[in-house]
A and B are shown apart, each in its own frame.
Chain A
Amino acid sequence: DVQMTQSPSSLSAFVGDRVTITCRASQSVNNYLNWYQQRPQKAPKLLIYATSNLQSGVPSRFSGSGSGTDFTLTINNVQPDDFATYYCQQSYISPRTFGQGTKLEMK
């Protein structure tokens, strides 16, 4: 299976900050990388698919980039609703494996 490694495991930010989360795959996954947001006590929600495509309804302050093995999720102007855990997932090779998560906390 493809191993996905996220960094950092946690980070803290002020409302209004810009934050970046990285995800590295153990082998190339082309651009088939998804991001999910999980708020406390809630089910995960799809944010971005295929590296940079925002799911319907996701605010434009979220963006994704990368290719091959290295990917980033950027949140511009972090809002209170954004404090959550973020997971990357590769979909290039079955099974669709997840990263271990990055918890974004309020500073």
Chain B
Amino acid sequence: EVQLVESGGGLVQPGRSLRLSCAASGFTFDDYCMHWVRQAPGKGLEWVSSITWTGHNIVYADSVKGRFTISRDNAKKSLYLQMNSLRREDTALYYCVKDMDATGIAADGYFDYWGQGTLVTVSS
């Protein structure tokens, strides 16, 4: 059974940093692209960042570019999101998401498994 378990969320002041983690199990982690998707309270889904199976290709949403860093440790079957210079508008539930594809750019791709999310609240 595929499981994605996020951790690391919490209350943080604007301008500070936070690191999210996602522990994966039930599939061959290093075969797949992984993503972070967030959802602000009462709002829709916003894709945040993607990292290919090798970790060599990384993409960010414009809203987080230069502030967030995605990474992965295939040996530990873990995905990470380092979030710096946090803003109030980064407040959201952050989901760890598995792609059905290794690269994340297959035209017929989709997100086939989601974690339950970890809540990040940016407030003074």
Contact = CB atoms under 8 A, between A and B. Distances in A.
Given A43-B95, A43-B116, A43-B117, A91 B110 contact: yes
A11 interface: no
B59 interface: yes
A44 B105 CA distance: 20
B109 A44 contact: no
Number of contact residues on A: which range applies?
20 to 34
8 closest Cβ contacts across the A-B interface?
A: A43-B114, A101-B44, A49-B110, A34-B110, A98-B45, A94-B105, A91-B109, A100-B44
Given A30-B107, A49-B108, A98-B44, 16 more contacts: A34-B110, A34-B111, A44-B45, A44-B95, A89-B110, A91-B108, A91-B110, A94-B59, A94-B104, A94-B105, A95-B50, A96-B109, A96-B111, A97-B47, A99-B44, A101-B45
Interface of A: 30, 32, 34, 36, 38, 43-46, 49-50, 55, 87, 89, 91-92, 94-101
Interface of B: 44-47, 50, 59, 61, 95, 104-112, 114-117
22 contacts: A30-B107, A32-B107, A34-B111, A38-B45, A43-B116, A44-B45, A45-B114, A46-B110, A46-B111, A50-B108, A55-B112, A89-B110, A89-B111, A91-B107, A94-B50, A94-B59, A94-B104, A94-B105, A96-B111, A98-B46, A98-B47, A100-B44
